[in-house]
Amino acid sequence: MFPYMGWILFSYGLATAMVHLVHGQYRRMQPKARKRMHYVLVTHNHEQHMEWYLRALDWYGRWRGDSVKVTVLDEASDDNTIAIVERLKHREGMDLNLTRLTAVGEEEKKRYMLAAQAPIDAEETRLFIDLRSPEGANKIPYVHV
C-alpha cells in the first residue's frame, strides 16, 4: 500500500511542476504579458556566493516566465567576484551588466545608487539589493541567509 501511495504523490508532484513550467513558457511567449524584473546588486568580495545569487535569479525568472535583468555594482572587490560575473554574462535568458565602482568617487556612487532605486516604467520592477549588509541577500528568491 505504501509504495502505491508514494507513486501517487510522486506523480502529483511531477504534474504540478510540469504545469508551472508550461505556464512559464506560455507567459514568456506572450510579449504583452511579459513583466521585466531588474535586480541591482551592490557587491564587495562576494565570490563565495555570487554565482549562486545570479543562478537563483535566473532560475526564478525562468520558473515564473519573467524576463530578468541584473546589474551588478561592484565596489572594489579584490577576489574573483568580477570574474564570476564576467563568466555568467553570456548565459542565455538573463541580461547581466557589470559596473565597477572602483574608478569613480563618492558622488558617482551616490548617483548610481539613486539611479538604481528610481522607478523606470510600469513594465519593469526594479529591486535594489545591497549585498554588503548581512540581511541583503534575503531579498533574492531561493536564497536564505
Q: Tell me: the pLDDT tens digits for 13-41?
A: 999 999 988 887 777 776 655 567 888 88
If one compares 67 and 73, the residue with the highest pLDDT of the two is 73
Cell numbers given for 119: 522607478
Mean per-residue pLDDT, 71-91? 85
Question: Which pLDDT does position 18 carry in this prediction?
Answer: 93
Q: Give, for 100, the enclosing helix (H) or strand (E).
A: strand 94-100
Predicted pLDDT of residue 75: 83
pLDDT at 5 exceeding the cut of 70: yes
Tell me the C-alpha distance between 66 and 64, whole Å: 6
> What DSSP string describes 50-95?
HHHHHHHHHHHHHHHT-EEEEEEEE-S--SSHHHHHHHHTT-TTEE
| Span 7-17, pLDDT tens digits | 999 999 999 99
Q: Among residues 132, 51, 43, which one has the least CA distance to residue 85?
A: 51
Tens digits of per-residue pLDDT, 93-106? 678 888 887 655 56
103 versus 110: the higher-pLDDT residue is: 110
CB-based contact 97:86 (threshold 8 Å): no
Helix or strand (DSSP H, E) at 40: strand 36-43
The C-alpha atoms of residue 5 and residue 9 are separated, in whole angstroms, by: 6
Residue 102 CB: number of other CB atoms within 10 A? 10
Predicted pLDDT of residue 111: 67
Average pLDDT estimate for 69-79: 86
Kind and range of the H or E run holding 108: helix 106-117
